[in-house]
Amino acid sequence: MNDWIKTDIVVIGSGIAGLTFALESARLGMKVVILTKNETRESNTNYAQGGIAAVVTDNDSFDLHVKDTLVAGAGLCDKSAVECIVHQAPEAIAWLIEQGTNFSKTHDKALEVGREGGHSRHRIVHAKDLTGREIERALTDAVSSHPLITTIEHAIALDLSFTSGVECTGITAFIPHEHRLLSVTAKATMLATGGCGQVYAHTTNPSIATGDGYAIAARAGAELKNMEFVQFHPTSLYHPNAHSFLISEAVRGFGCELKRRDGSTFMEEYHPLGSLAPRDIVARAIVREMRLSGDTSMFLDCTAHDEDTLRAHFPTIFEECLRWGIDISKEMIPVVPAAHYECGGIVTDLHARTSIKRLYACGEVACTGVHGANRLASNSLLEAVVFAKAAAQDVIHLPEVTSGIVLHESNFSTQKGALTTSIVHLLKQEIQEVMWKNVGIVRHTQELEFAQNRLLAMADEIEYLYRHNELTLELIEVRNMTQTALLIASGAASRTENCGLHFNVNLW
């Protein structure tokens, strides 16, 4: 059965990008349908800790924020996109507050600002160490009470629909628990599907981050770039049973230092900013120190602060570490890098327009030019708000889709059997291991070639399984994961010089 809905705007994803775009489009009078593959709040946004970068104090300036972003981006940023987000950051913060977001305040009621790696000033607006959860709460509340917005949870987008192959006219989704397809036709389609950390064995990202949007866009022929620039966050908790829980960079911004097991500091040997150097440098330094020492992690020392102070500023991190038996006011936290953020993605302009007519992309899935070869911490939530708002201003001018709608052709059939979950699970694990071991922080030409070949073979195998078995959420995701992993591996294999997050030892 193929159900069909017609609306003004369809949004795929309910993180900060999708929700902001939905709210702004609805404010301009458009009817919006949001499709999201889990519960509305389940997104990378919901786990963001550090905050949002914005110039909100007198000793800071737009020029400094622009400069820090360009330095982190290692020469590959688009300056006009950087200027755009930096200049609109104070307005974006005001907008989030208007939607109900409660940011942390100082005693005199000013916004409290923290500092993170690569930033020359304190400029990270935050809600303790739960910034993403607070934003997601506020935006979800605003969306759920808006009469022009309908949210359909547990609907996984499959592929775009087109009028005679030229203009995007919407999307077809699969609703696993009802075992049916749903097609949504709209004058604009927004991919706000977030990132792809799950293609790696170790990641700070939740399970939804399987790279669906990159794969959907690539299959439709949209332009993507810079996929090789995967940011590894330097400090995720190292514990055999903890799932790469993030220890926010704001902790280092609060004066806590990276150390070896014997308590000696090392970051000053790698960069003048020490523990607050840009992420690519810190992550590589940690990997090198682990190799030199044979240790399974490096350490983050917070013990200069007492328990009350740490609990007041980082309640979630304090509790989570305690859950794993680490009292961070008394002992150092074992940390290792983990896949965190995809700097590349679907190429978009300053209104989030992609290379395909009527198709927009925003948030982590987009490549706006802001991040270049390495993202400056806390610029991504900001980027999502600024470009989502700009996109809403653009789609208002689009004419209706009137004719020639061709619905997506899928392999949907009730006649097919379902693959066992263990096969899909094994395929997923293999992708994650291939990527972690061969397309990680430190790369080698031979390993990149190996990864590409292995992923190509897996892509064929998975395509066959996709065509010949009943659709399931897991099968759809694993197909998207191989295709996204391939985009990253082939981007890395074809980049001929080291830059930002791409570091291939054979190019030196």
Binding site for ligand SIN (CB under 6 A): 49-50, 248-250, 341, 377-378, 380
Instruction: List residues bridging with 345 in a β-sheet.
Output: 225
Using CA atoms, how far apart are residues 322 and 424, in angstroms rounded to an integer?
A: 34
Q: How far is the CB of 374 from ligand FAD (least distance, A)?
A: 14
Q: How far is the CB of 462 from ligand FAD (least distance, A)?
A: 16
Using CA atoms, how far apart are residues 309 and 81, in angstroms rounded to an integer?
A: 38
DSSP state of 353: B
With CB cut-offs between 5 and 8 Å by kind, which of ligand SIN, ligand FAD, none does residue 236 bind? none
DSSP state of 439: S
Looking only at residues 21 through 60 of this chain, which bind ligand FAD when binding is defined by CB under 6 A? 35-38, 42-45, 47-52
Contact 488, 199 (CB under 8 A): yes
- In sequence order, which residues have a C-beta less than 8 Å from that of residue 176 and are 6 or more positions away? 154, 156, 471, 472, 473
Of the candidates 363, 14, 35, 310, the one whose C-alpha atom is nearest the C-alpha of residue 173 is 35
DSSP state of 32: E
Q: Which C-beta is closer to ligand FAD: that of 157 or that of 281?
A: 157
Q: Which C-beta is closer to ligand SIN: that of 364 or that of 474?
A: 364
Answer yes or no whether residue 96 interacts with ligand FAD by CB under 6 A: no
**The two three-digit tokens of residue 163, written as one number:** 């009028």
Using CA atoms, how far apart are residues 448 and 439, in angstroms rounded to an integer?
A: 6
SS3 107: coil
Catalytic site positions: 279
- Number of residues located near ligand FAD, criterion CB under 6 A: 44
**The two three-digit tokens of residue 214, written as one number:** 């990159």
- Give, in degrees to the nearest 5, the angle at Cα 402 between 398 and 406: 110
Q: Which C-beta is closer to ligand FAD: that of 12 or that of 237?
A: 12
DSSP state of 202: S
Using CA atoms, how far apart are residues 86 and 81, in angstroms rounded to an integer?
A: 9
Of 96, 186, 190, 246, which lies in the binding site for ligand FAD, with binding defined by CB under 6 A? Answer: 246
Q: How far is the CB of 36 from ligand SIN (least distance, A)?
A: 22
Residue 404 CA: distances (Å) to CA of 163, 198, 216: 5, 37, 21
Of 8, 18, 448, 499, which lies in the binding site for ligand FAD, with binding defined by CB under 6 A? Answer: 18
Q: How far is the CB of 300 from ligand SIN (least distance, A)?
A: 11
Interface characters, 206-235, with ligand FAD (x: CB under 6 A): --xx--x-----------------------
Answer yes or no whether residue 156 interacts with ligand FAD by CB under 6 A: yes
Looking only at residues 354 through 373 of this chain, which bind ligand FAD when binding is defined by CB under 6 A? 363-365
Q: Which C-beta is closer to ligand FAD: that of 448 or that of 471?
A: 471
Of 25, 69, 378, 482, which lies in the binding site for ligand FAD, with binding defined by CB under 6 A? Answer: 378
Q: Which C-beta is closer to ligand FAD: that of 132 or that of 500?
A: 132
Q: Are strands 188-191 and 156-163 parallel, antiparallel or unpaired?
A: unpaired
Looking only at residues 105 through 134 of this chain, which bind ligand FAD when binding is defined by CB under 6 A? 131-132
Q: Which C-beta is closer to ligand SIN: that of 250 or that of 343?
A: 250
Answer yes or no whether residue 14 interacts with ligand FAD by CB under 6 A: yes
Using CA atoms, how far apart are residues 164 and 406, in angstroms rounded to an integer?
A: 7
Q: Are strands 156-163 and 167-175 parallel, antiparallel or unpaired?
A: antiparallel
Q: How far is the CB of 455 from ligand FAD (least distance, A)?
A: 20
Instruction: List residues bridging with 235 in a β-sheet.
Output: none
Contact 479, 455 (CB under 8 A): no
Contact 348, 354 (CB under 8 A): yes
Q: How far is the CB of 343 from ligand FAD (least distance, A)?
A: 10
Q: How far is the CB of 42 from ligand FAD (least distance, A)?
A: 6
Answer yes or no whether residue 204 interacts with ligand FAD by CB under 6 A: yes
Binding region for ligand FAD (CB under 6 A): 12-18, 35-38, 42-45, 47-52, 131-132, 156-157, 192-195, 204-205, 208-209, 212, 246, 341, 363-365, 378-381, 384
